[in-house]
Amino acid sequence: MAELRIVRVEDEGQLADWRLVHNAIVPSAGLSVAEVRERVTRNVLEVAYDGDVLVGCSTVRPPSTETSAETVIARVLAPYRRRGFGEALYQHCLAQTRGTGIETHILASNVDGVRFAEKHGFVEVESYVMPGETIPFMLMRLG
């Protein structure tokens, strides 16, 4: 790992990079440019670079009306996993939360992501399938 640089999405290039990572890791819930533009108004969306190379993205979502938990999602592109990027991105995200009630959502087929979450103390509390899809998402909470 050279030097991980985590940047808040503020321009079209960063928005495109965030979308590229999200859609590569969660292809069954791919987002359009318009959907990402909407999300950036209510969530903290960031992109992670190793020098100038895009390696991941993250989302920190405030509590919703349904739950008091904050959502933290760190995504690292497959070729860059197991190099410490996920850990650095995850810790960066945690530092932005109040630290009470943290949850994450992971596509069940993302074995690396599920393993990472479990290693960090998350436990599955629910699974759900998006309309028209067959692969479930796992809602996991920090135990």
State the CB neighbour count (10 A cutoff) for residue 41. 7
pLDDT of residue 100: 74
CATH code for the part of the protein at 4-142: 3.40.630.30
Read off the pTM.
0.89
The arrangement of strands across the sheet holding 53-61 comes to 4-8, 44-50, 53-61, 70-76, 102-107, 137-142, 122-128
41, pLDDT greater than 80: yes
pLDDT for 98: 82
Model pLDDT for residues 50-100, shown as the tens digit of each residue: 999 999 999 999 887 777 889 999 999 999 999 999 999 999 999 998 877
Q: What is the pLDDT of residue 3?
A: 85
Mean pLDDT, the chain, whole residue set = 92
Whether residue 132 is predicted with pLDDT greater than 90 in this model: the reply is no
For residue 1, pLDDT over 70 is answered with no
